[in-house]
Amino acid sequence: MVKITYVEADGRRYEVEAPEGWSLMEAAFQNGVEGIEAECGGACNCATCHVYFDERYIDKVPQPSATEDEMLECTAAERRSNSRLSCQIELTSELDGMVINLPDTQI
Amino acid sequence: MTDAGIVIVGGGHAGLSIAEALRRKGYEGRLQLLNAEAGLPYQRPPLSKQFLKGEWDEARLVQRNAGFYTKQRIERLSSAKVISIDPAQHTLSLENGAQLHWQKLALAMGSRLRRLAVPGSDARGVYYLHSLHHALALREAMTKARRIVVIGGGFIGLEAACAFASAGKQVTLLDRADTLLSRSASTPVASYLQQLHSGKGVQIENRARVTEIAVSNAEVSGVRLDDGQFFAADIVLVGIGVEPEVALAEMAGLACSDGVQVDAYCLTSHPDIVAAGDIARFHHPLYNRSVRLESIQNAVEQGKHAAGTLLGMRDEYRAVPWFWSDQYDTKLQIAGLSADHDLEVIRGDEHSGRFSVFCYAQKQLVAVETLNAPADHMIARRLIQAGVSPKPDDAANPDFDLRSLL
Ligand SMILES: Cc1cc2nc3c(=O)[nH]c(=O)nc-3n(C[C@H](O)[C@H](O)[C@H](O)COP(=O)(O)OP(=O)(O)OC[C@H]3O[C@@H](n4cnc5c(N)ncnc54)[C@H](O)[C@@H]3O)c2cc1C
Ligand code: FES
């Protein structure tokens, strides 16, 4: 299991545990984290699962694919250097302890 | 019955969206979510994609975990099939004999499968794909099958064909129309997908009229067409569309016509009953015609509007419809509704596997279908929502920045 903390734009925190192999979006969604909409359920089609990734862990995940990169250009909140689509990030044991910040809007 | 509160019938994508939106919009009262299926509400799109391919397990399909419902005080009743609704009394009955009261009701029963009606179609080995229950049975059956015939070249048929071909099965796809996806995609997209599937070994028969499912020892042995052609099969998957699940609403006397009729705020012909998702038919303000949509986008977003209406808010539903389908490494995305268009403009190279088709009706951009071009899709949604139509020459020019129009 991988432990992740999600922090909503208004400061609310969720401590979540999810199995390796799931996506960072699924871990949030199943546990009711509100700041992720994930309208397309993880198909990299909606850009409503945008997160600001933990800078300390950014080397431990692969770079965005071309599709993700294009979709990141279309997020509702501003794109930053650590912006990712959470449905495209697979949880691994290396990511244990991450803190993920959520944007103030997804739509 | 003071604490009857709000009852939602149907725990699919729309039903869950209504429940969540009610709480987010501040509803504090009693909230019951009734679902005919067992278990927690789950996602349907992966059933014909990751789940059928064996990449995902059942646990991963679940939308929200059980703790979520407790925290949100959503009383979730599973295996709870509603068999009648009495709008005058504000009650409904469940199959198990129970009766419930409601102050306000939301209908989100989705759609039901259209069944194949030819001789032999109820033989063992004929499968459908609409629910988790179907997907489990099909996934099990396909492991033992060598030759699979798919009837129907819509999204379900094509996605399943992809899963079958990827698993090394010998796949034949029979479609009655001239082109694949005839209800929902333009010719360039349909021809590209036809080539894509053929390249993966799927044998596609267009204009195929199925007249019989051949049966031997009560098991499927093949499929026969009206021109006499015969395709041997160990199993057959039928994907010929769905119909709105309107029987309950019709019995209850609500206005229905290929769907439960709702107004711009998702209200049915009864002032305390809303409807959303596959079941709802409404007048789309962007297209100025009556539509019924079968998509996640519609279920989720219309659900939010229906929730607002239950709480006395009036927020017109006018979102641009969008849809996607994943087949092999190809991502098809559709923004808008393309029926009745009179001009198709292609952006990008039609043979490269990365292009978009801009569909216009009377000079107005009505839909954009993209293949592996997600940025075009996202921009298209915004253009259509804003009512902005790029000049066809600009749309066709990949160097023209469409964003500059927004
Ligand atoms: C295999 C498959 C793949 C799909 N892929 C995509 C895709 O990639 N992209 C996309 O946008 N859309 C896709 N769709 C379509 C999308 O899933 C539907 O449009 C969406 O689920 C509609 O939501 P809904 O809530 O209206 O209906 P549903 O999700 O079908 O939910 C209706 C629920 O109501 C319950 N119900 C029915 N009658 C009763 C009753 N009398 N009492 C109690 N409960 C009842 C049903 O059991 C069901 O659980 C797919 C559909 C399928 C089947
Ligand atoms: S969930 Fe839709 S893009 Fe991630």
Instruction: List, as one string, the DSSP characters of B81-107.
Output: -EEEEETTTTEEEETTS-EEE-SEEEE
- What percentage of chain B reaches a pLDDT higher than 70? 100
- Distance, CA of B10 to CA of A18 (rounded, Å): 28
- Residue the block writes with tokens 């099958």: B145
Bridge partners for B34 per DSSP: B9, B77
Q: Determine, for residues A26 and B326 on separate chains, whether the beta-carbon distance falls below 8 Å.
A: no
- Mean pLDDT, chain B, rounded, equals 96
pLDDT at A107 (0 to 100): 83
Three-state DSSP state, B239: coil
Considering only CA atoms, which of A47, A106, A100, A52 is closest in space to residue A73? Answer: A47
B99 Cα to chain A: minimum distance (Å): 30
Cα B197 to chain center, whole Å?
21
Question: Which band of pLDDT confidence, cut at 50, 70 and 90, is reported for residue A45?
Answer: confident
Question: Which band of pLDDT confidence, cut at 50, 70 and 90, is reported for residue B317?
Answer: very high
Question: Which band of pLDDT confidence, cut at 50, 70 and 90, is reported for residue B10?
Answer: very high
Q: Indicate if the pLDDT at residue B170 is higher than 80.
A: yes
- The strand pair at B170-174 and B203-205 is best described as parallel
ipTM of the complex: 0.92
Residue B346 CA, ligand 1 centroid: distance in Å: 32
A64 Cα to chain B: minimum distance (Å): 14
Q: With beta carbons under 8 A apart, name residues in chain B contacting A17.
A: none
Considering only CA atoms, which of B388, B110, B36 is closest in space to residue B379? Answer: B388
Considering only CA atoms, which of A13, A37, A16 is closest in space to residue A86? Answer: A37
Three-state DSSP state, A76: coil
Cα B158 to chain center, whole Å?
14
Q: Indicate if the pLDDT at residue B3 is higher than 80.
A: no
Q: Which residues, other chains included, contact B67 with Cβ-Cβ below 8 Å and sequence gap of 6+?
A: A31, A32
CA dist list (Å): B397 to B229, B347, B355, B357, B400:
45, 6, 11, 12, 5
Q: Indicate if the pLDDT at residue B2 is higher than 70.
A: no
Q: What domains lie within chain A, and their CATH numbers?
A: 2-101 (3.10.20.30)
Bridge partners for B151 per DSSP: B174, B238
User: pLDDT tens for residues B11-61?
Assistant: 999 999 999 999 999 999 999 999 999 999 999 999 999 999 999 999 999
- Distance, CA of B274 to CA of B318 (rounded, Å): 16
Cα B144 to chain center, whole Å?
28
- Which atom of ligand 1 is closest in space to residue A43's alpha carbon? 8
Residues in chain A whose Cβ is within 8 Å of chain B: 22, 26, 29-32, 34, 39-41, 43-45, 47, 67, 70-71, 73-74
- Mean pLDDT, chain A, rounded, equals 94
pLDDT at B1 (0 to 100): 43
Please give the residue that has the higher pLDDT: either B144 or B340. Answer: B144
- Distance, CA of B75 to CA of A78 (rounded, Å): 37
Q: What domains lie within chain B, and their CATH numbers?
A: 6-111+243-310 (3.50.50.60), 126-240 (3.50.50.60), 329-405 (3.30.390.30)
Q: Determine, for residues B324 and A43 on separate chains, whether the beta-carbon distance falls below 8 Å.
A: yes
Rounded to 5°, the CA angle B54-B55-B57 comes to 75
User: pLDDT tens for residues B146-166?
Assistant: 999 999 999 999 999 999 999
A62 token code pair: 């692969």
B383 — phi, psi (to 5°)?
A: -60, -45
Write the single-letter amino acid at B306: A
Phi-psi region of B242 (alpha: psi -120 to 50; beta: other; left: phi over 0): beta
Residue A71 CA, ligand 2 centroid: distance in Å: 9
